[in-house]
Amino acid sequence: MTYTAWILVTASLVGISCGIVGVFLILRKMAMMADAISHTVLLGIVMAYLLTHSLSGIHMVIGAAITGIITTFLVQWFHSKGVGQDASIGVVFTTLFAIGVILIATKVGNAHLDVQHALMGEISFVPWNTIFVPVLGEIPLATLMLLVVLVVVILVIGLFYKEWKLTTFDPSLAASIGIPVLGMHYLFMTLVSITTVASFDAVGAIMVVAMLITPAASAYLWTDKLLVMIGLSASFGVISAIMGYYFALWIDTSISGSMAFATGVIFLISFICSPRHGLLSKTFGTEGQVPRPSLPRD
Amino acid sequence: MSILLSSNFQWVLLSTLLLGIAAGLVGCLAYWKKQSLMSDALSHAALPGVVLIFLLFQVKDLFVLMIGASISALLGAFCIMLIKSTTRITEDTAMGMILAVFFGGGIVLLTLVNKTSTGNQAGLNNFIFGQAASMVSSDVMTMSILAIAVIFIVVIGFKEWKLFLFDPNFAKGLNLSIKGMNIIYLLILVLTVVVGIQAVGVILMSALLIIPPVSARYWTHSFKTMMWLSGIFGGISGAVGTTISALGVGLPTGPFIVVTSGSIFLVSLFLGIKKGLIVESMMLRNKRKEVYEQMVANSIVKEGNS
């Protein structure tokens, strides 16, 4: 495959996996946790680098998963000690992120790992760093990682689809019939962390927040059905990734930044044109005024 | 060490001290409005404004850049409120979205600026993680004056803020406009955020508003004391963080300020005299002992009676 094709494939994989995870994120009202985890993942990567002195995929994923769980645990713990949910998120992620930045600035700053790269990602370097895989042939490492993560995300969500739905929409019912709600919460946050770290190389820590939240929020304006919402969110993710890439090429600027911006454009279109929740239908339409349940169902 | 004695450094130190105090005070208001993360969204949303103003006017005067930052942060706040009030999307999702999309837009513009020769020297990159060392005396003046203004607004209106936060209905009865207070609150929040963006950076500025109030909460149950403590903690974090980053070469200031306030938080978490973990566990143990003794005493009485 050509250079551009690899970039587009990588970006689309980011769009799909973030899109799927994002739907559950916003329905569980955990959007700001994604922001927190995407920041603290940096510390996990730096720690993994300090311990192993390599930037190979698997160490980074393990480091990120561990920091993701630590972040989730700390936020829960402070919350149980009487700090408000948003304040405890704010305390935990800013501190851990600051430690990560300081470690990079003082100890490990080198050509392979710098703050700029960690924050913005550099998708244009992705196709150069390839690895040989038996069936697929020579493919970029970041793409392979994203592929594996996507399969894991689809497996975990698909296998326990009913349980995810139940814990998302009615946690108390789920708890009463014996589903481990807290365990599912931690499992989900682990999924968020590995998705974040796999997307890290391509779009960077902060842009991944845009990819996680915005396509899902746009999809939420179009449909009430969970499966449709997942499909829409993943497609919005892919569309904004591709749009963002070509826009960045056109005016010659940061690719990840313009991808994040593209998700915003898609949201704006949804915000104006959505059939039932959009600005246009609210201003002019008389149809669809029938009150509907506010939660998606299928 | 000699850098610590230079007068330029001492001015910078003063301005980050004032900034820390202002952020601690305003952070208290945000804490009780349960809007701690709003400051995170606002500070990220300020980035495109800074860069756009630079692109349009090619000036590097902090005051002018701050105007741009304020406008785009306010625009971000407006978008969050619009999304929250007109759709079923929740506030936290709206905040995350605005934060990431605005920041993405800011990065797009920043990359463009860095490609031009004048832009590359302007050091706009410092706005991401903060670089107190890059501040010139006019920046220090602007920062200090605005920080003092914020402190002044919070302190003179203390009674009104208290009513606004804890008993808005009573405040209404006193003819205090809640809507007006909300606007002033949003304005000083935005002002604090943009004052800090050069020294602390857009990514970590929110920490200075979030962490000091949370730490102060462990030491007291009184709102007034909490305000003062939060201001003091903020001030210490600003000053210590700036000093540490000045000792090294090219170290970003923001992360050090945040780690300092994080350490204050950890100390408060364990040692805080009102809600700290150690005090709580001691109280729990005393209570247990008391209950146990009571039970023993009761059973003795019972046995005596039978």
Q: Enumerate the residues of chain A whose CB falls inside 8 A of the CB of residue B262.
A: 91, 94-95, 98-99
Contact between residue B124 and residue B50 where contact means Cβ atoms under 8 Å apart: yes
Q: Is B275 on the interface with A (CB under 8 A)?
A: yes
- Distance from chain centroid for Cα B157: 19
Q: Tell whether the torsion through CA atoms of A242, A244, A248 and A251 is positive or negative.
A: positive
CB contact under 8 A, B88 and A220: yes
Domain that holds residue A39: 3-207
CB contact under 8 A, B96 and A119: no
- CATH code for the domain in which residue A51 is found: 1.10.3470.10
Q: Enumerate the residues of chain B whose CB falls inside 8 A of the CB of residue A259.
A: 104
Residue B290: phi and psi, rounded to 5, are: -60, -50
Domain boundaries, chain B: 2-206
* Region of poorest pLDDT, from A126-140, A215-229, B195-209: A126-140
User: ipTM of this predicted complex?
Assistant: 0.86
Residue A16 lies in a domain: yes
Out of A106, A210, A277, closest to residue B87 by CB:
A277
* Region of poorest pLDDT, from A72-81, A148-157, B71-80, B231-240: A72-81
Residue A124 lies in a domain: yes
Residue A112 lies in a domain: yes
Strands A137-140 and A130-133: antiparallel
String of DSSP letters for B58-81: ----HHHHHHHHHHHHHHHHHHHH
Q: Nearest residue on chain B to A83, judged by CA atoms?
A: B214
- Distance between CA atoms of residues A10 and A31, nearest Å: 24
Q: Is B206 on the interface with A (CB under 8 A)?
A: yes
* B150-183 pLDDT tens trace: 999 999 988 888 888 888 888 888 888 888 888 9
Residue A52 lies in a domain: yes
Q: Is B33 on the interface with A (CB under 8 A)?
A: no
Residue A146 lies in a domain: yes
The tally of domains found in chain A comes to: 1
Residue A220 lies in a domain: no
pTM (whole model) above 0.80: yes
pLDDT, residue A57, reads 66
Q: pLDDT category, B49, cuts 50, 70, 90? A: very high
What is the rounded average pLDDT of the residues B12-29?
Answer: 92
- Chain A closest CA to B207's CA: distance in Å? 6
Query: Which secondary-structure segment (H or E) carries A41?
Result: helix A31-52
CB contact under 8 A, A98 and B106: no
- Distance between CA atoms of residues B40 and A87, nearest Å: 11
What is the rounded average pLDDT of the residues B143-148?
Answer: 92
**B98-117 residues touching A, CB cutoff 8 A:** 99-112, 115
CB contact under 8 A, B104 and A221: no
CATH number of the domain located at residue range(s) B2-206 in this protein? 1.10.3470.10
The residue among B32, B85, B89, B268 with the most chain A CBs within 10 A of its CB, best to mutate, is B89
CB contact under 8 A, A32 and B211: no
Q: If you ran DSSP here, which 8-state letter would residue A136 be given?
A: T
* B78-122 pLDDT tens trace: 999 999 888 888 888 999 999 999 999 998 898 888 887 666 666
Q: Which two tokens stand for residue B188?
A: 């000083």
pLDDT, residue A234, reads 94
Residue A137, pLDDT above cutoff 80: no
Other CB atoms within 10 A of residue A136 CB: 11
B16 closest CA partner among B219, B282, B215, B246: B246
String of DSSP letters for A159-219: HTHHHHHHHHH-HHHHHHTT--HHHHHHHHHHHHHHHHHHHHHHHHHHHHHHHHHHHHHHH
CB contact under 8 A, A94 and B106: no
Out of A98, A220, A282, closest to residue B259 by CB:
A98
